[in-house]
């Protein structure tokens, strides 16, 4: 896949998010990365081909299937933002925050919603 050919750099804005998730005891371990799922890869193709609504449907399904894997949701959010699917990125952030007790939401890095 394309991800194998080019190492992916981590945006500096992501570092505070990863630190915050790790401080909450979240695990990064997953069997298969969300960005390698066939439906997610298809969604990017559809978005580029002018079918963003279909892409959003596929990404929303993937998002909710992985709602307990916040690091994967951050990966999805950044990729969605890169594909100009800002609502999907915001939905991913909201799913992450929805699993945090209200009293701790203010501690979340602002980059999560950027």
One pLDDT digit (tens) per residue for the chain, 114 residues: 444 444 455 667 899 999 999 999 999 888 899 999 999 999 999 999 999 999 999 999 999 999 999 999 999 999 999 999 999 999 999 999 999 999 999 899 999 887
pLDDT at 4: 44
- The predicted pLDDT at position 2 comes to 44
End-to-end CA distance of the chain: 28
What are the structural domain ranges in the chain? 11-26+43-113
Q: Which of 92, 101, 30, 20 is CA-nearest to residue 61? A: 92
pLDDT at residue 50, rounded to an integer: 97
pTM of the model: 0.86
């Amino acid at each position: 896949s394309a991800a194998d050919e080019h190492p992916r750099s981590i945006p500096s804005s992501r570092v505070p998010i990863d630190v915050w998730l790790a401080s909450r005891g979240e695990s990064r371990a997953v069997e298969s990365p969300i960005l390698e799922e066939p439906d997610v890869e298809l969604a990017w193709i559809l978005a580029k081909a002018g079918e963003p609504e279909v892409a959003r449907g596929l990404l929303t399904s993937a998002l909710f299937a992985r709602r307990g894997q916040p690091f994967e949701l951050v990966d999805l959010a950044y990729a969605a933002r890169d594909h100009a699917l800002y609502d999907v990125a915001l939905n991913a952030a909201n799913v992450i925050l929805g699993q945090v007790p209200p009293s701790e939401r203010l501690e979340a890095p602002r980059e999560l919603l950027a």
